[in-house]
């Protein structure tokens, strides 16, 4: 029997919809019908709460990617309100694909929890926002997925211990992640998946992998190491303006990733007999026989 869990592929749309609901829906449809992934994921920020006044009014650190005169204006341009998220969730459900969202602040967490998605994601930047995490543990019944980029081993320990004290570790999914866009291969650090499994595999629901690298070979390796949930940024065009597009998969790549993860899951078995039926035909025809 295959000891590996069935792979679960998430297409991270984030802000790659460029603030356009029509593009967002096109991305959902493409992910569901063409790519055949399991879920799409957006992001929700309440920017006034999340950013300081100085951060909000500062110019975008990379103006060529900005959709506004300031970083705050840029973030607001890419933001969907909770009613739009409800519409996107309904659209996902009509296509048989799971809707999810990363939340960056307490207000966003409350708004998205009200939509009752199957899971809510906590980005690496916010996995120490314990006020938000405590509210979710007490008020939201779905899975809580947490990335561990830019997070020390002691901080990961603290995070898991917190969920255990809240009696919610059975709903926690930890993702191996390196925070960068894109991440060079030596910085992906795939073997940290093994570390997470050794330390927390029996304490949390799943171990996942959130990749910001190029290509899809690394994701297959992540799955074989035990990360059954694989999340990748996703775009319709990697040349579009924005921070995440260059580290994202276009539909053809996302389709291949989901396909290859399913194929590898089927292939990760032992032979059930010495000579398989498919081999017996070839053995009868080709195997050397001593004269």
Confidence check: pLDDT of 260 > 60: yes
Q: Which domain holds residue 261?
A: 8-286
Residue 210, in any domain of the structure? yes
Q: What is the pLDDT of residue 64?
A: 83
Q: Identify the band that residue 17 occupies on the pLDDT scale cut at 50, 70 and 90.
A: very high
Assigned domain for 3 exists: no
Confirm whether 161 is domain-assigned. yes
Residue 64 or residue 178, greater confidence: 178
- CATH number of the domain at 210, please: 3.20.20.70
Contact 226, 199 (CB under 8 A): no
Overall residue count recorded for the chain in this entry: 291
- How does DSSP assign 233-288, residue by residue? EB-S-TTSSSSSGGGSB-HHHHHHHHHHHHHHHHH----SSSS-HHHHHHHHHHS-
Question: pLDDT-based confidence at 243, cuts 50/70/90?
Answer: confident
**Tens digit of pLDDT for each residue in 135-181?**
999 999 999 999 999 999 999 999 999 999 999 999 999 999 999 98
Q: Is the pLDDT of residue 2 over 70?
A: no
Our count of domains for the chain comes to 1
Spatial separation of the C-alpha atoms in residues 257 and 129, rounded to whole Å: 32
Q: Is residue 131 part of a domain?
A: yes
Q: Which of 28-37, 53-62, 71-80, 236-245 has the highest mean pLDDT?
A: 28-37
Let me know if residue 291 belongs to a domain: no
Res 1: pLDDT: 47
- Percent of the chain surpassing pLDDT 90: 85
User: Is 149 in contact with 120 (CB distance < 8 Å)?
Assistant: no
CA 214 from centroid of its chain's CA atoms: 15
Residue 62 clears pLDDT 70, i.e. is over it: yes
Query: Is residue 1 situated within a structural domain?
Result: no
In a domain, 223, yes or no: yes
């Amino acid at each position: 029997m295959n000891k590996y869990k069935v792979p679960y592929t998430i297409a991270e749309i984030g802000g790659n919809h460029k603030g356009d609901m029509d593009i967002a829906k096109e991305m959902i449809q493409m992910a569901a019908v063409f790519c055949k992934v399991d879920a799409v994921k957006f992001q929700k920020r309440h920017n006034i709460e999340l950013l300081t006044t100085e951060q909000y009014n500062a110019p975008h650190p990379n103006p060529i990617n900005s959709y506004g005169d300031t970083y705050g204006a840029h973030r607001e341009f890419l933001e969907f309100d909770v009613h739009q998220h409800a519409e996107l969730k309904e659209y996902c459900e009509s296509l048989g694909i799971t809707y999810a969202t990363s939340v960056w602040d307490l207000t966003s967490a409350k708004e998205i929890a009200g939509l009752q998605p199957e899971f809510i994601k906590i980005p690496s930047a916010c996995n120490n926002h314990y006020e938000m995490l405590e509210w979710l543990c007490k008020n939201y019944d779905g899975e809580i997925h947490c990335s561990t980029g830019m997070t020390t081993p002691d901080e990961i320990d603290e995070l898991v211990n917190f969920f255990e004290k809240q009696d919610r570790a059975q709903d926690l999914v930890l993702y191996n992640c390196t925070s960068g866009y894109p991440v060079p291969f030596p910085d992906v650090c795939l073997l940290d998946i093994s570390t997470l499994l050794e330390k927390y595999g029996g304490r949390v629901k799943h171990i996942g992998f959130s990749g910001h690298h190029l290509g899809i070979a690394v994701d297959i390796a992540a799955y074989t190491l035990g990360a059954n949930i694989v999340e990748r940024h996703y775009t319709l065009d990697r040349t579009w303006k924005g921070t995440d597009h260059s580290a994202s998969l276009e539909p053809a790549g996302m389709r291949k990733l989901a396909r290859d993860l399913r194929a590898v899951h089927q292939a990760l078995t032992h032979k059930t007999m010495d000579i398989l039926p498919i081999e017996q035909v070839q053995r009868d025809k080709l195997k050397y026989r001593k004269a």
